Amino acid sequence: MFVRRAVTVDAGPTKHKHAPASFDTLRPMIITIDGPAGSGKSTAARNLAGALGIACLDTGATYRAVTLLALRSEIDLADETALAELARTMDLDMNLTPHGLQVLLDGDDISLDIRSEAVSEASHLAARSPVVRGVLVDLQRRIGGSLGSFVAEGRDQGTVVFPDADTKFFLTASPDVRARRRVEQLAAQGETAEVDQVRQRIIDRDRRDSTRSIAPLKPADDAIHLCTDGQTPDETLATLLSHVKADA
């Protein structure tokens, strides 16, 4: 089977008014943003990439795509070998559009399907498998290699996937804030959820992510820590940009 893993970066977002003026002239730059679900890292990564006019690599989408494919194919998510085979052979395209990330699986737009609560709940099974991680880390590095400068967002970007990144961030937020953000995000997708339940699931997921033996969620030694509680996306962006500027 011919496996296409092209990543198309369409018309990129326009540069942000706070972007370092000299950014264009610099060598390719890798910025990583890691942190738990709901810490605001996806928004922060998208905004930062948009402000700098560079690509944004959402690595969670790769774990979510494998999970969705397994659920659709009724493959046992505990079967690591089968999951790794799916990861190796899936036909995944990620197109960065001015409206956000479009994820295509076998040509079908799965951008919304991979954000469902079912996929969110099951994706830790793919994420905890060393063989699946091996395949997806290779894929993420290949994608990164094709992008020039980019912002990579995930759990292990600064520690495992791009340990030599120029600037590394680790974002956090309290479980309460993260649960509220998640409920709002689900509501926007037409799904309803109880804040208390979501908060408990977030706490459970954190425990699983940070105690797993492979690539546990933890900050890189040289990561800049930011808590996004009470911060607007613009305030977070301004802080990120000030650090990127300082490192440039």
Binding stretches for ligand DC (CB under 6 A):
37, 59-60, 63-64, 123-124, 127, 154-157, 209
User: Which residue's CB comes closest to ligand DC?
Assistant: 60
Q: How far is the CB of 100 from ligand DC (least distance, A)?
A: 13
Residue 148 φ then ψ, to 5°: 75, -125
Q: How far is the CB of 97 from ligand DC (least distance, A)?
A: 18
Q: How far is the CB of 119 from ligand DC (least distance, A)?
A: 8
The smaller minimum CB distance to ligand DC, of residues 63 and 150, is found at 63
The smaller minimum CB distance to ligand DC, of residues 23 and 111, is found at 111
Q: How far is the CB of 201 from ligand DC (least distance, A)?
A: 11
For the sheet containing 100-105, what is the strand order? 7-9, 92-97, 100-105, 108-109
The smaller minimum CB distance to ligand DC, of residues 114 and 240, is found at 114
Q: How far is the CB of 140 from ligand DC (least distance, A)?
A: 7
Query: 15 pairs with which residues across the strands?
Result: none
The smaller minimum CB distance to ligand DC, of residues 19 and 205, is found at 205
Axis crossing angle, helix 117-127 with helix 195-211, rounded to the nearest 10 = 10
Residue whose C-alpha is closest to residue 5's, from 165, 161, 156, 136: 136
The smaller minimum CB distance to ligand DC, of residues 51 and 66, is found at 66
Residue 54 φ then ψ, to 5°: -125, 175
Rounded to an integer, what distance in angstroms lies between the CA atom of residue 9 and that of residue 11?
7
Strands 100-105 and 108-109: antiparallel
